[in-house]
Structure 1
């Protein structure tokens, strides 16, 4: 599930939810809305996954 992956990412990188939302989708409420049951569309899923993968690669170099 996407929310579980996001929550794990936030813990691993000590990132606030609003920062994650702004950086991944330009939506500071994204994580809060997902926690309240919002179902993201395919486009949002792809953007979030791309952001997490890109972020991980950039800090591991």
Structure 2
């Protein structure tokens, strides 16, 4: 699944703002905004974001 689509679903599911997500996931409050505007994340960034979402979805924290 495309990373941005997965992030958008995560934001809705957890009812959190995009800036908070970016800050907590990778210390970049503009992450989601930049992705929405065409930023292409690298493999390392993608892996960090996915790990964060997986951890918060399972309740183990980030």
Residue ranges of structure 1 left out of the alignment (5+ in a row) = none
Which residue pairs with 1:7 in the alignment?
Answer: 8
Q: How many residues align?
A: 59
Provide the C-alpha distance between the structure 2 equivalents of 1:55 and 1:24, rounded to a whole number of angstroms: 10
Q: Which runs of 5+ in 2 are unaligned?
A: none
Normalised TM-score (structure 2): 0.92
In the TM superposition, 1:1-61 aligns within 5 A as 1-58=2-59
Q: Deviations over 1:2-60 (max 9, x none)?
A: 0000000000100100000001110000000000000000011000000000001117x
TM-score by length of 1: 0.94
Moved over 2 A (4+): none
Q: Which has the higher helix share?
A: 1
